[in-house]
Structure 1
């Protein structure tokens, strides 16, 4: 039966493929495909973990005191029965053999299948045994993930062979940033998640991969079954499940048209971005990993405006990357850009980019209650001075290979800048004492907290450049947690307060002769190209896949005409009026 699921469109285009479900779990487990030669090893890992959990349960049962309630022994017996149930472990082994899932993924996938069966049971007692099943699976997963500090280097090994002739799309409750990076090698044609918004990191990485994605479907992962044929309409925010032949052919036609459009845009690669009235505009790229630099160059990027270094820290079981590992990563990006600037943002973890490593004790509860307001970004770096100096040393060493700019996230006052400059002085002294080379590094701040925008004039003397992070600036200005599904619909970049802050920051930077760019999602959104040009912005940093589209819009814009529209935009009474002022209907 064909049906539709509705969500939020976050990455344009159409994807068609068979559904691969990633079950949600209270544990963050690895999801990756394995090669044929690894099937035996992964199967053995699963059997060994099962036997260890069974042994632990037996020991717990045998160690019960004589006066223990009989219900406890009965509960442990139920768990033992579930551990040995072929419907759990043997069926999980079949996922390993037939789907080439790693052990953790196979077990969580089978949990999803069984959980749905429990939900459909009429007997209340049997239905409540779902919680026991989840507890048993969590025990086995904990054993499987023990000592896993890094994911295998060939995460997609065997994936293309597994895929066969049918393309695949990923369906999940949510996808962590680390998992998104593991799935970057092209095995999945698109993504569908139950939660998330336009600026969630699932959405951001999906756009960087230039593949269609729909998030915020709420019930998508429950309604869509494994192996269903799925069409992801990334333009309309619609997921069509098991479409009819006529609908399927219509979407395949749209796919062909989109490919022709991409080929036309590719011809703009070497065309300078100059407005109709002769204003030169810089087109920079946002990247997550060093290997993203070369593809960015191939689509016409004039440099890296944002290297999100936190992605080097994720998916490592809480183990931080060494100075040498970071240095090699930054150096790779700098060399790939061939003398063009590379802007490296210091690690920005927290909120929707969690790090497995535990926070200081006094901060854990606050981080859980409101991660967007907690110990994150520059606050976290300054609270971990050894880690911060290690990252600074790696960045400064990489600067010997080409122009590097250091970008500080979530700065809100001058004291943080002074602390950072003290750290930099110590780091440079260390490197000189070691006899290690380094270049001249420009220092910049991200304006993403309203406080930074309001006191910008006092910050500018301390820095060389400014980068506006619109995702967080909107979030904090409107008091909306962009990761909270219940209020994410209120996240609106057209809000006059947001546009007013943007105009103010750009104007102050230009008056003080400081370079300024926008590196948030607004930079790659065609709806805002003319508005930002009218505010005086001449440097845009975005996902490489967006560069050609935005460049085409810049070539068709008259910046003088755009400037005349800005006053009406920032003085609008509400977001709808602001959008209407530039003739944008949605």
Structure 2
């Protein structure tokens, strides 16, 4: 068999080597025919029965969910159950059968195609990905209608003594289907990687793959058509590369890399309890970025000093009005319980909770009007100040959680003094309400600003005068500084964290913040990039916040860093405006 390579989007690190197991979309095999008038109601009942059976199946999956399964899986099953109950799925196809006399499968696919077209018009990437959830739910119904089921492959034949593990290859795969690849005792069966034609960084396949720490590559376009059942496949999750039917030489090379990565991980685990201190004795804080309270376990396992960024919007996003259901914002008690869980789980370590970061580019309701330039529209703190009751509810919930441990509040996308003042005023209002109600909270809770807009970085004095700490959100800071939409593939190659303007803004923020006596952290992707660790140390950064999986690698860089040598080199880098010179100098920092 000829070998070939596919390139896609890396979403979960590591290397997986195994045999391909293809999941073929049931929709591709759908028959199209007209039902006689006298059989229409029988066809309606056939679809109703299939929907009911899928409902029972999802309920069974939830009931049998292994105790060690990632929390995201249960949440995704709930989302799929809600979608299945929506009239757009449970009733609209029945009308198509009655009015057009389509067979059940054809009617369902017709309705799903119409819904998918509507979702394609949504600009926000996260919400656009939810189209795949609708398609996955339809897949489950189609499998029941057609009498097929998700099959788990037999033991593969191969040249190894042990049966090789399998790599799931599909156009798309739902989190619920992933559960079919687990043993009854809850342990992993033999799947070790995922490859899908569709999806992006925010797709559910990507989220679950990361939560399971399984190599995955998505956005492969034609993978499910080009790769055949039982093909040997290599998934390079770091590069987003899939190699099908590799030569023996390539196979051996990747096996060697895989073994080396395994040994490196084991070595890194030994650093868990080692303090992050540079060679010259300078301590550095390593914090974790989390989306859900359950992520705290991974943060502690990696030895995090605390949570530097709790992205609270993930508590809201699952409530989105996906198919016309009533929008339901989590109540104050619901939010409080989630924040409290995180604070208690971190056992006295600080938890920095970022207030709701949604808006025109991440609307809670995808049916609402989307701005022409969503990244520049009503989002983050602008959205919260425009929805004062929603914001006040969240501030009250966070304050209530502060009575259980160290909590800090982080405000995203600030640019104006009046935004800071209005935010602090609302916080005081929340405190007053809780005092009047006799509810406990930490009166000295710290409030910080995310520096992610160039205007904020260039007007820091008004921030250091009002705030308790600063956190640099490098993802948006780079995007806004360079006027680049980082999810637009046509300009993504221009997204450069080493652009001299970006480096100048970061270095200036660190210097001014520290001079004013404020803690300054970096919580964007740059914090977890080991190639940039020494550069940030040389700028004076002493607090990094990143995904827990990146923490030990960054700690290793810190332990091997000599600040005296790094600082002088970094000053020279910051004086340079030539891209090649900057890139070469940053690379040289790695050898110091």
* TM-score band w.r.t. shorter chain: 0.7 to 0.9
> Structure 1 residue 482: deviation in Å?
0.5
1:107 aligns with 2:138: yes
Q: Which residue of 2 aligns with 1:508?
A: 512
> Structure 1 residue 13: deviation in Å?
2.0
Structural mapping, 1:221-300, within 5 Å: 230-244=233-247, 247-300=250-303
Kept in 1, the 8 Å contact 2:22–2:229? The answer is yes
Tell me the TM-score normalised to structure 2 length. 0.72
Of the structure 1 ranges 560-569 and 496-505, higher mean CA displacement relative to structure 2 is found in: 560-569
* Cα distance in 1 between the residues matched to 2:458 and 2:438: 41
> Structure 1 residue 165: deviation in Å?
3.1
Q: Aligned match of 2:563 in 559, 568, 576?
A: 559
* Cα distance in 1 between the residues matched to 2:283 and 2:241: 38
Against the structure 1 CA distance between its residues 385 and 259, is the aligned structure 2 distance closer, same or farther, given a 3 Å change threshold?
same
Q: Which residue of 2 aligns with 1:539?
A: 543
The alignment yields a C-alpha RMSD, in angstroms, of 3.9
SS at match of 2:182: helix
Kept in 2, the 8 Å contact 1:33–1:159? The answer is no
Structural mapping, 1:157-236, within 5 Å: 158-161=180-183, 164-175=189-200, 177=202, 179=204, 183=208, 189-194=214-219, 217=220, 230-236=233-239
Tell me the TM-score normalised to structure 1 length. 0.73
Of the structure 1 ranges 164-173 and 501-510, higher mean CA displacement relative to structure 2 is found in: 164-173
* Cα distance in 1 between the residues matched to 2:103 and 2:589: 56
Q: Aligned match of 1:403 in 392, 401, 406?
A: 406
* Cα distance in 2 between the residues matched to 1:10 and 1:46: 31
Which deviations, in whole Å up to 9, do the C-alpha atoms of 1:118-152 show, x marking residues without a partner?
A: xxxxxxxxxxxxxxxxxxxxxxxxxxxxxxxxx99
> Structure 1 residue 173: deviation in Å?
2.1
* Cα distance in 1 between the residues matched to 2:21 and 2:237: 16
Q: Which residue of 2 aligns with 1:140?
A: none
Q: Aligned match of 1:477 in 467, 476, 481?
A: 481
Against the structure 1 CA distance between its residues 22 and 556, is the aligned structure 2 distance closer, same or farther, given a 3 Å change threshold?
farther
Against the structure 1 CA distance between its residues 81 and 469, is the aligned structure 2 distance closer, same or farther, given a 3 Å change threshold?
same
1:81 aligns with 2:102: yes
Against the structure 1 CA distance between its residues 495 and 48, is the aligned structure 2 distance closer, same or farther, given a 3 Å change threshold?
closer
* Cα distance in 2 between the residues matched to 1:315 and 1:307: 16
Of the structure 1 ranges 275-284 and 240-249, higher mean CA displacement relative to structure 2 is found in: 240-249
Which deviations, in whole Å up to 9, do the C-alpha atoms of 1:17-58 show, x marking residues without a partner?
A: 5467798x9xxxxx999669469x999969998884454236
Q: Which residue of 2 aligns with 1:333?
A: 342
* Cα distance in 2 between the residues matched to 1:51 and 1:422: 47
SS at match of 1:231: strand
- Any unmatched runs of 5+ in structure 2? 28-53, 63-76, 111-131, 144-173, 322-327
Q: Which residue of 1 aligns with 2:7?
A: 6
Q: Which residue of 1 aligns with 2:502?
A: 498
Of the structure 1 ranges 470-479 and 423-432, higher mean CA displacement relative to structure 2 is found in: 423-432
Which deviations, in whole Å up to 9, do the C-alpha atoms of 1:226-266 show, x marking residues without a partner?
A: 88654221344421134456644543443232121111001
Kept in 1, the 8 Å contact 2:84–2:137? The answer is no
Kept in 2, the 8 Å contact 1:467–1:517? The answer is yes
SS at match of 1:183: helix
SS at match of 1:582: helix
SS at match of 1:344: strand
